[in-house]
Amino acid sequence: MGKLPIAKLQQLADSGDPAAQNELGVRYRIGTDVEKDPAKAIPWFLKAAKQGYAKAYFNLGAAYYNGDGVPVNDQNYCAWFIFSADAGDQRGVEAVARTRQELPPAQMNRCEVLVATAYLTGGIVRQDYGKALNWYVTAATAGDGAACAKLAYLYDNGIGVSVDKAGSLRWLQRAADLNDPPSLYQLGMAYETGTGVPTDFAKAKKLYEQASYLGLAQAFAALGAIYAEGRGVKPDQQKALAYYLVAANNKVTAAQQKVDDLSAKLSAKQVAAAKQDAAKLSGFTRGPVILVRK
């Protein structure tokens, strides 16, 4: 393949031959028989990668690692090296080992989730539920809350595994323990509705509060419903309005109707007080802590 005239190589690449596509990318990368242009190499590597060509996986990883034709990107080079290793490329195996030494554990976990999601959805690589499950388990076992949440979803829906509601709940609880906001909210819903667990409004409220503290808008709407309906608490329409206001201000569509309904029922003084409370509640929310490297 490396000795083919460029015209013949181009013809094979255009016809969909992954080895030719990868070789054409290499030639653009180093400037053999074509004008050197690393950026033009990337689309050809991608075409070959989508067909499962392991060398193209590695070459994409190298491109993102070195900044050849694309900006340097830790997550991307990490993912492509893992794809390469999974496909049996020894250079990929070695690159992954080096990457694990270079990247912080949390960033490596996020890369593993990215890899798992790529296998789950297909697109940049061939869809493979087994590999998706394995990489989610790897990241989840290392303490990634989003990976735990995804495993809960897979077990609940029987994607890549048999339906296992109990297993799904265990992963959801693990994700909540790791403060994954959507999982805190979903587990709260489970306790509120008695889905898979005994109904427990107090636990549901606590989980919603944790999710709201982490800034999840839907959790504010859930707390609004709890106070509006008196589910495990004394009904308090003013407090309900405050929570609904925060949710509505954060684009939870259904919350706006609740705001309108309660505002029409409460006095102007109560509405004003609820707005003040909503402002305080918004101030208590916080986003995730972002890890940085020196």
Q: Which two tokens stand for residue 5?
A: 């005239």
> What type of residue is 285?
T
Neighbours of 236 (CB within 10 A): 14
Give pLDDT < 70 ranges for the chain: 1-2, 284-294
HSE at residue 248, side-chain half, CA atoms within 13 A, is 20
**Domains plus CATH for the chain?**
1-103 (1.25.40.10), 104-178 (1.25.40.10), 181-286 (1.25.40.10)
The confidence score (pLDDT) of residue 3 equals 80
Q: What is the pTM of this model?
A: 0.81
Which residue in this structure is represented by tokens 């309906």? Answer: 229
Alpha helices per DSSP H over the chain: 6-15, 18-30, 38-49, 54-66, 74-86, 90-102, 105-121, 129-141, 145-157, 165-177, 181-193, 201-213, 217-229, 237-249, 253-265, 268-284
DSSP string for 48-68: HHTTT-HHHHHHHHHHHHHTS
CA distance 234 to 189: 19
